[in-house]
Structure 1
Amino acid sequence: MFELLTVCTGNICRSPLAELLLRERLKPLPANVSSAGTRGLRDATMTPEAVQIAVASGVASAEAQAHRSRSLTEAQLLSPDLILTMTRDHRREVVELAPSRTRVTFTIREFARIAAQVPDDEVRRVTGEAGPDAAARVRAIAGLVGSYRGLAATPVVPEDEDVIDPYGRSMRTYELAAAQLIPAVDAVVRTLRLGLADPR
């Protein structure tokens, strides 16, 4: 079993959508995916727009409807093998709360951007060296991607590392946020599947 945590502000739009998509698209891998908000509302549901996008993207309606928000705590940051935030500000808040988790914390678009520049053979090598444990393999992937932070080409516009916040805005803004988030989710899934594949 390996653990992923996604983080946004209120835990009612972006991070639960990322959580649900990752959980669905990583099946049947042994993934424990959760989410939280840096200023999370208490037991709030996902917004109707986020639910609509989740269901349109293959998540069961009941699963999307069942989400309840929670606030991020230091304790929640201790065990995840990979932490994926929606913006650079969220990443900073995570690292300030738990400095020891810097190495495994990325914005989700940052992780996707860097992972695309890491050779597949490198992913296979580090995960092979990590052994058969899924959590150890995911931590090895996070370490490898992190080691490319200073080597990979960076975006011209820093905001390209973020997923915009659609809360309280139009459905068009939700769709734009999804257009930023979903390709990043798919890139994370691809990299994890590559590193967790049985080499036999």
Structure 2
Amino acid sequence: MRVLFVCSGNICRSPLGAQVLTARLGPDAPAFVVESAGTIAQDGAPMDDAAAAQSVRLGGSPDGHRARYLTAVIAGSADLVLTAERSHRAAVVSLAPRTAKRAFTVKQFARVLDGLEPAELGGVSTPEELVALVARLRGTVPPLADPADDDVDDPYRRSTATHERVADEIAAALVVVADALRAVR
């Protein structure tokens, strides 16, 4: 299964998400291809130092990350797309319309998973089936009072405290995502 994280520059949120998810998947990580891209990325740019430090703090491995620009091929090849913001999800779907049922903000995907009853997960036996279930049921989970709460702030060139808060938001969502992916692997 291919999991793609998307943010703007592919130097803070999306590589951190990919690295932390890989760490959280633990021994099951080899069953997944976890990668990232950015809607305005400069190909080859290194990961932001502050974001890399947060990745390490959360068990990720930022070594060797290089930014890459999001293309229709990259988006279309993903089985699950997790974005930092709703605008990134819209960009993914615009590039590759068939991703509409596989693209979510990372917080939205975790929120819908959290809202599922154990019985709803009973017939799910693969990660792809899990994504399809979440897509079908995303409209049944009560909406947020403020839709912007599904977005993860951009910490680029902001304080260490902002980087830490953003990393913790991503990591909290990924605990739920990783647990669900491991359970159906």
> Which bin holds the TM-score, normalised by the shorter protein?
over 0.9
Compute the displacement of 1:4 (Å): 0.5
- Count of residues in Structure 1 that have an aligned counterpart in Structure 2: 183
Pairwise mapping of residues 155-194 of structure 1 onto structure 2 (< 5 A)?
Answer: 155-194=144-183
**In 2, distance between residues paired with 1:124 and 1:69?**
38
Question: Is the 1:120–1:194 contact (alpha carbons within 8 Å) kept by the matching residues of 2?
Answer: no
| Bigger relative contact order, structure 1 or 2 (CA pairs below 8 A, ≥6 apart) | 2
Matching residue of 1:51: 52
Matching residue of 1:28: 27
**In 2, distance between residues paired with 1:11 and 1:124?**
36
Residue deviations 1:138-196 (CA, integer Å, cap 9, x gap): 22111101111211011111111011000011111111211211111111101111222
Question: Is the 2:55–2:167 contact (alpha carbons within 8 Å) kept by the matching residues of 1?
Answer: no
**In 2, distance between residues paired with 1:124 and 1:82?**
20
Matching residue of 1:116: 114
What stretches of structure 1 of length at least 5 have no aligned partner? 128-136
Percent identical residues: 38
**In 1, distance between residues paired with 2:69 and 2:170?**
21
**In 2, distance between residues paired with 1:151 and 1:122?**
12
Question: Is the 1:87–1:161 contact (alpha carbons within 8 Å) kept by the matching residues of 2?
Answer: yes
2:104 aligned with 1:106: yes
Secondary structure of the residue aligned to 2:81 is strand
Residue deviations 1:59-99 (CA, integer Å, cap 9, x gap): 2xxx4131000000001122211110010000000001111
**In 1, distance between residues paired with 2:173 and 2:80?**
14
What is the RMSD computed on CA atoms of the aligned residues? 1.1
Question: Is the 1:45–1:65 contact (alpha carbons within 8 Å) kept by the matching residues of 2?
Answer: no
- Residue number among 91, 101, 104 corresponding to 1:93 in the alignment: 91
Compute the displacement of 1:120 (Å): 2.6
TM-score with structure 2 setting the length: 0.95
What stretches of structure 2 of length at least 5 have no aligned partner? none
The aligned amino acid for 1:45 is P
2:9 aligned with 1:10: yes
**In 2, distance between residues paired with 1:82 and 1:10?**
19
**In 2, distance between residues paired with 1:120 and 1:71?**
38
**In 2, distance between residues paired with 1:148 and 1:85?**
18
**In 2, distance between residues paired with 1:7 and 1:109?**
13
**In 1, distance between residues paired with 2:164 and 2:146?**
20
Question: Is the 1:82–1:138 contact (alpha carbons within 8 Å) kept by the matching residues of 2?
Answer: no
Compute the displacement of 1:123 (Å): 2.0
Compute the displacement of 1:109 (Å): 0.2
